[in-house]
Amino acid sequence: MRIIDKTVLAKYIFIAVAVILAVSFLVMSNRMYNDMAKEERQKIELWAKAVQLVATGEDNTELDLTLTILSGNKTIPVVLCDEHNTVLMTANIDIPDNDSVHFLKKKIDSFRKSNSPIVIQNPNFKQIVYYGDSSVLKRLQYFPFVQIGVLTVFICVSFLALLSTKNAEQNKVWVGLSKETAHQLGTPISSMLAWVEYLKSQATDISALQEMEKDVSRLQVVADRFSKIGSKPAPENKELCKEIRTSVGYLQTRISKKVLFEFDLPEKPLHVMISTALFSWVIENLIKNAVDAMEGQGTIYITVTSKGNIAYLDITDTGKGMSKSMFKQVFSPGYTTKTRGWGLGLSLAKRIINEYHNGKIYVRNSEISVGTTFRIELPIV
């Protein structure tokens, strides 16, 4: 399983656990709400029974008990009306001094929608009890949403912390691997330089030695690139088009002759702040990926434009292309469609452009069986 697959799987598991917890909170809170609503209903039914007993005028002992029940309701808002909906009594409702009739009418309508009224049937008349939810029950109604909000914040913070830790670990691995690679390359490169000098003294074919020198110099550049990963390189003022031609020129002689290059570069110089060793690495990565996408046959278009203080470099191939869902995924560490390689090329390219050159790199567009365009944005000096 690729690194990216494991990361995606971990995200899905994390989200699934969060959803399960959220649903559990909702179910438990809803059950508590229903139980409390039933309990309040029973209290109001008892309160209505007490009202009925007072109206029928039973003996004093029972009257004392009913009055105790009536005065015991301190939380549930109640309106007692006759059969014509004329208000007879209220409890736990703050009534304004002005327009009390209209206010109570609105309250009755509200209570009727939230709870079924209780009818008190006396021998000579009928009364109706309208009631609303207590403040405790109302708070309980919104409590699960508060829980979900707190849980969401906690999950987001935990997820960001986990992601930050993972990125830090990946960075340490990349930096350590890069510096160790540079160190390991140092010895054979020095040896090869000595052998080149020796062959020169033996009157060996000069043209062959020149090519060997180019490759040894290239190895030195590669070692220099790896040594710069993890440290902040000092960018220099460079002419963008010249740097592009230099980077592409080395590759042109070492890839298939069936791959054609077409340049559309401005005549006016565009100066940008770059680290030559790292920037050329990005260009080579994109070119090699383009060659692989075209399976060693096709055309690579290199275009440079500018707008305002931004220079745009587009590298377009005529390869197999990709779906839109892969535009961001291709820059993830470990992502690769090749049978060999670690899938770090585009990930490192993104880091080099974003962190070391204050620029951007992304897939501008791509079509299956048509080709792909990668774009690099760099600030102009």
CATH number for the segment(s) 233-379: 3.30.565.10
Residues of the chain with CATH 3.30.565.10: 233-379
What crossing angle do the helices spanning 135-201 and 3-56 adopt, rounded to 10°?
170
* Mean pLDDT comparison of 6-10, 335-339, 354-358, highest-scoring range: 354-358
Q: How far apart are CA 308 and CA 299, in angstroms?
A: 29
Residue for token pair 């006759």? 82
Average pLDDT over all residues of the chain: 82
Closest CA to 75 of 138, 142, 144: 138
Give the residue-averaged pLDDT of 8-26.
Answer: 77
Is the pLDDT at 253 greater than 60? The verdict is yes
In this structure, are residues 337 and 372 in contact, taking their beta carbons and an 8 Å threshold? Answer: no
| Side-by-side strand order, sheet with 126-131 | 87-91, 78-82, 126-131, 118-121
100-113 pLDDT tens trace: 888 999 999 999 99
What distance in Å separates the CA atoms of residue 108 and residue 129, rounded to the nearest whole number? 9
- 171 CB neighbour count, 10 Å cutoff: 14
For position 342, what pLDDT does the model report? Answer: 47
Q: Are 51 and 79 in contact (CB under 8 A)?
A: no
DSSP letters, 165-207, are HHHHHHHHHHHHHHHHHHHHHHHHHHHHHHHHHHHHHTT--HH
Mean of pLDDT values over 120-135: 88
Rounded mean pLDDT of 238-264?
Answer: 90
For the chain, residues classed under CATH 3.30.450 are 3-133
Kindly state the average pLDDT of the residues 20-46.
86
Predicted TM-score (pTM) of the model is 0.50
Q: How confident is the model at residue 341 (pLDDT cuts 50, 70, 90)?
A: very low
- CATH code of the region 3-133: 3.30.450
